[in-house]
Amino acid sequence: MLRLTISRPGHDITEATFVGDVVTIGRAADNQLQLEDDAVSSHHGRLEQRGRQLVYTDLGSTNGTILYHEGRALAITGRQVRGQLVAEHDRIRIGAFSLQVESSDPRIGQHETQVLETQSLRTEALIGSGMLAGVDPRKGERILAMIADGHATLGSMTRLCACLKDHLFRLFPKATHLSIVQRDQHGGSLVVVAHQSRKGDASEVRISHTIVQRAMRDEVALLLVDAGKELQNAHSVVLSQIETAICAPLRNSAGTFGALQLDVRGTRGQTLDGADLALLVGIADFVAVLVDNQRQLQGAHNGVLAALDSLMREREVTNREGVTRARRIRTLAVSIGRALRLSSRELELLNASASLLAWPRSGPPSMYYPDALHDAPFIASCCDERLDGSGPHGLIADDITLPTRIIGLACHVVDQAGHTSQAQLWEQLEADRETVWDPRCLDALRSLFAESERPVGEVEAA
């Protein structure tokens, strides 16, 4: 049994109870819950109970749906999301209506704990299964922490490398340098993914390709006790001043794609040994999964951005003005993001979100968005939202994420640039600082034009 608390500005709060597991919602009379509002589509969405889960699905509505979970606003549109898990007491915003979800089924809300219990990994289980046979349980805990922390960095290779550096240097206390390389997916050449010294300075450190190439070619882990003597003809080893090293190949389902190397340089008496090599072999596959996930995600991101560019070129045939506007907004938004020192993933999200503005209402043909770009349709749909709640959806400051604020400011500046003088535009923006516009975004915008004679809104494409 499902129960919904229904509220609407200027109207009394009501409750509706539904006996079945499915509740259809929309403006048409044949819905189980009829919401009479012009912003509600005839058949807007569906809320259903699936065992221990509540799932909301937008049915391709015109204005979409906003789900509020623990104070955070999430977009749900029929084009991008088939179903979104809903917890009890979440709020669903459809047009002017706010629906709070209740359920009389005591099982609802228990599934998350049970899933976590079945998915939790224990050091003893890993060691007992042979995955980390013979590993000290304390190091096993460190490996589990590395895996968990590594998965939490998904979407940022920089953060993953920092995570691996922290954990690997703890696991291998004698190592002074860490290197991760991968084969370029196109040319086949080796690319350095991470190269760090224990002290954190990698600027003066040389990497030896000789060792990693041998590990990758022969698909074996290597221990070099006296690297200078064992690889006398390897000029790179001599330049690197490597005294002892361990190296293991990184593999995925397609084969070896890279290598992980730890070594000792500039110390006397410190050597890596067979125990270190055995430990490296035990964790190399875990590191490979973490690095490969980042590689796969980057490929997916690049594919989405390339697809949007291609669709924009097609769209330009019928709507040149709209596509030109979207490109200008995209360039300005990404420039603001760079001025704010956003990560590469956040800049890609700005890129995708602004590109979607070439389709102001219907959106582009349905496509898959990786997790880090998942919010792009929502951000594009909220480009007219303002911090004071005066936007069409009525979102207020806490509901508007930084990327949405950047896109909104870029849209406003581009749209006003041709109709308002520079002085008037700046005056208007500053008058609405904090109430309408994020001060950080305004300061970043001003920094872009502080020493330039270009009109506001005209930023060179990167």
pLDDT of 238 above 80: no
End-to-end CA distance of the chain: 54
Position 233: which residue type?
N
pLDDT of 151 above 50: yes
pLDDT of 277 above 90: no
Task: Report pLDDT for 268.
Answer: 64
Element (H, E) at 59: none
- Segment 208-232 mean pLDDT: 72
Name the pTM for this structure. Answer: 0.52
Average pLDDT, the chain: 77
Cα angle 14-18-19, degrees, rounded to a multiple of 5 = 150
- Characterize the bridge pairing of strands 45-50 and 14-18: unpaired
pLDDT of 298 above 90: no
- Segment 45-74 mean pLDDT: 75
pLDDT of 457 above 80: no
pLDDT digits (tens, 9 = 90+) for 243-268: 788 888 988 877 888 899 988 887 66
- Segment 155-178 mean pLDDT: 87
> Confidence class of residue 325 from pLDDT cuts 50, 70 and 90?
very high
Task: Report pLDDT for 66.
Answer: 76
CA-to-CA separations, 63 to 26, 140, 361, 377, in angstroms, rounded: 12, 50, 8, 12
pLDDT digits (tens, 9 = 90+) for 356-371: 998 876 566 667 777 6
- Cα torsion 149, 155, 159, 160: sign: positive
In whole angstroms, what is the distance from residue 457 CA to residue 372 CA? 27
> Confidence class of residue 131 from pLDDT cuts 50, 70 and 90?
very low
Instruction: Name residue, tokens 């000789």.
Output: 210
Residue spans of alpha helices (H) in 172-225: 209-218
For the chain, the 3-state helix, strand and coil shares in percent, each to the nearest 5, are 40, 20, 40
User: Between 85 and 416, where is the model more confident?
Assistant: 416
- Cα torsion 453, 455, 456, 462: sign: negative
Q: How many CA atoms lie within 13 A of 126 on its CB side?
A: 22
Contact 396, 382 (CB under 8 A): no
Contact 216, 256 (CB under 8 A): yes
Extract the tokens encoding 182. 């991968």
pLDDT digits (tens, 9 = 90+) for 82-94: 567 787 778 888 8
Task: Report pLDDT for 120.
Answer: 30
Task: Report pLDDT for 226.
Answer: 61
CA-to-CA separations, 335 to 39, 112, 211, 240, in angstroms, rounded: 34, 40, 41, 38
Position 89: which residue type?
H
